[in-house]
A = this chain, B = another copy of it.
C-alpha cells in the first residue's frame, strides 16, 4: 500500500506540475507601464543584460543602476519637497527664534509669503537651509526629517510627500533588483534628507544613496560622541557633480541610469559612454492632469539640453502621459 501510494503521488505531482507550467501566465513585472517603446526598451535591456552568453550580458557585480530622485522617483512641484521640509521646519522652530518675527527671509516664511522669502535669492535660501539643516547632530536632523515625512501633507494632493512616488518607477526598481541589479539614488537633494525614509519607500538602503551634503564634524561630548552638522556646503551632487559623486561613492560606472532634467545630463552621458550594453532613460513630465507638465521653460526640473541629447542619441524617454498607466500608488 505504501509503495502504491508513493508512485501514484509522484505521478499526480508530475501531472500537476505540467498543468501548472502550461497554464501559468508570465507575470508582468511592470504592470503600471503601458505597452510601448519605453517599456519594451526596459524589458529588452534587462533580458540582454541577464542572459548568459548574450553579447549584452552584464556580470552581476557590474549591474549598477542609478536613479535621480526629484522628478524621477517622486514629484518635485510646486517646490522641491526638501524646500517644503525646510519651510515647515522654520515654522516649527519659530518659537525658539523670536528674532525671526522681524528678520528676513524668516519673517516672510512665517507669513506664508514664499515669493518674498525666496526673493532674497541664493543668500536667503542658504539662510533657510542653515537654520533648518545645521547646528544639530545628525541624529537630531534625521529625527526631524522622519517627523516631517510622517506628518506633512502636500498642498495639492493632501497626501504625505513620501506617498507621491511614481508607481511605475517603484516597479522598475523592484524589477531591476529581482534581476540582480543594485539600485542607487543619485540626487541633487540632501543625502541626509533622503536616508531616513528611502529604505521604506523605495527599498533602497541608506548606504546606496548619493546626494548633496554639508560638512559634518565629530565631537566628543560628556554624553558620548556625536556628529554635528555645520552650515557649510561640502558637495553639490548635480550636473557634472553626479558622475563625480557616482565615482566617489560607488566607484563603478553604472550600466543603467534614469533622470528627468538637465541636472542629470552628465550622469546619463557618463553611464551611456561605458563599454557594452547601456541604458539611459529620462522621465518626461507631460501630464498636467495626473501630475505636472513642464520641461524646457521650467525653473524646477528644467529639461532642455538633456532632452535634445536624449532625442539625438535615442535615449529612452518615459512620457508620463503616454507611458504610465498609473502615476502614484494611491491612484486608481
CB–CB B225/A244 < 8 A? no
Q: In this assembly, does A82 line the interface, its C-beta being within 8 Å of a C-beta of chain B?
A: no
Pick from B208, B213, B217, B244: contact of A227, CB under 8 Å: B244
Q: Which residues on B sit within 8 Å (CB–CB) of A216?
A: 244, 247-248
| A209 adjacent to chain B (CB < 8 Å) | yes
- A247–B227 contact, CB under 8 A? yes
* A136, chain B: closest CB distance, angstroms: 14
Q: Is the CB of B225 within 8 A of A270?
A: yes
CB pair B213 A248 closer than 8 Å: yes
**Which among B3, B213, B218, B244 is the interface contact of A217 at CB below 8 angstroms?**
B244
CB of A126 within 8 Å of the partner chain: no
Q: Which of A115-147 contact B (CB under 8 A)?
A: 138
A208 to B300, CA, bound (A): 33
Asked if A251 and B218 sit within 8 Å, CB to CB, the answer is no
> In chain A between 288 and 328, which residues have their CB closer than 8 angstroms to a CB of chain B?
none
B182 and A218 within 8 A (CB) = no
11 residue pairs bridging A and B, Cβ less than 8 Å apart: A2-B7, A61-B205, A206-B250, A206-B252, A207-B249, A207-B251, A207-B252, A218-B270, A224-B269, A225-B273, A227-B270
Nearest to A247 among chain B residues (CB) is B227
Interface of chain A residues 88 through 118 with chain B (CB within 8 A):
none
**Chain B hits for A218, CB < 8 A:** 240-241, 243-244, 266, 270
Given contacts A192-B251, A224-B269, 13 further A-B contacts (CB under 8 A): A2-B7, A61-B199, A191-B248, A191-B251, A207-B208, A207-B250, A207-B251, A209-B251, A216-B244, A217-B244, A218-B270, A220-B269, A225-B243
